[in-house]
Amino acid sequence: MQLVCNPEDNFQSQFHRRWGGLHDRHVRALAWLLTAPDMLDASAGQWQGRIATLDEGLLHADLDGWLHALDREPASLHAYLGSQPFVRLGRYAEKLLAFYLAQMGVLLAHGVQVREDRCTIGEFDFLLQWQGRLVHWEFATKFYLLESSGNGHDADYFVGPNLADTLGAKLQKIFDRQLKLSEHPAARRHLPGPIANARALVKGWLFYHEGRHFMRADGTSTSHCRGFWLSLEDMDHMRGQHFAILPRLDWLAPAQMTSECVLDGKALRQTLQNYFAQDRMPVMLAVLQVEGNVAREIERGFIVPDDWQTRAAYRTKPLSR
How far apart CA 223 and CA 227 sit, in angstroms, is 12
Question: In 3-state terms, what secondary structure has residue 121?
Answer: strand
Average pLDDT of the residues of the chain = 91
For the residues 202-220, what does the mean pLDDT come to?
A: 82
Report pTM: 0.94
DSSP code, position 255: P
Q: pLDDT band at residue 235, thresholds of 50, 70 and 90?
A: confident
Residues β-bridged to residue 123: 113
Q: pLDDT digits over 149-199, tens only?
A: 777 788 999 999 999 999 999 999 999 999 999 999 999 999 999 999 999
Nearest to 126 by CA among 142, 146, 140, 116: 140
Q: How confident is residue 239, by pLDDT bands cut at 50, 70 and 90?
A: low
pLDDT score for 321: 37
Residue 144 has pLDDT above 90, yes or no: yes
Region 59-68: mean pLDDT is 97
> Quick one: the chain helix, strand, coil %, rounded to 5?
35, 30, 35
Is residue 227 within 8 A of residue 300, CB to CB? The reply is yes
pLDDT tens digits along 255-280: 999 999 999 999 999 999 999 999 99
Lowest mean pLDDT among 34-38, 78-82, 145-149: 145-149
Q: Where are the beta strands (DSSP E) in 210-264?
A: 225-231, 242-245, 256-258
pLDDT at 6 over 60: no
Alpha-carbon distance 41 to 236, whole Å?
36
pLDDT over threshold 90, residue 9: no
Q: Residue ranges per domain, the chain?
A: 11-320
Tens digits of residue pLDDT in 77-136? 999 999 888 999 999 999 999 999 999 999 999 999 999 888 899 999 999 999 999 999
In whole angstroms, what is the distance from residue 244 CA to residue 155 CA?
29
CA 6 – CA 26 distance, rounded (Å): 28
Mode of pairing for the β-strands spanning 158-159 and 133-146: antiparallel
Q: What is the number of other CB atoms lying within 10 angstroms of the CB of residue 112?
A: 17
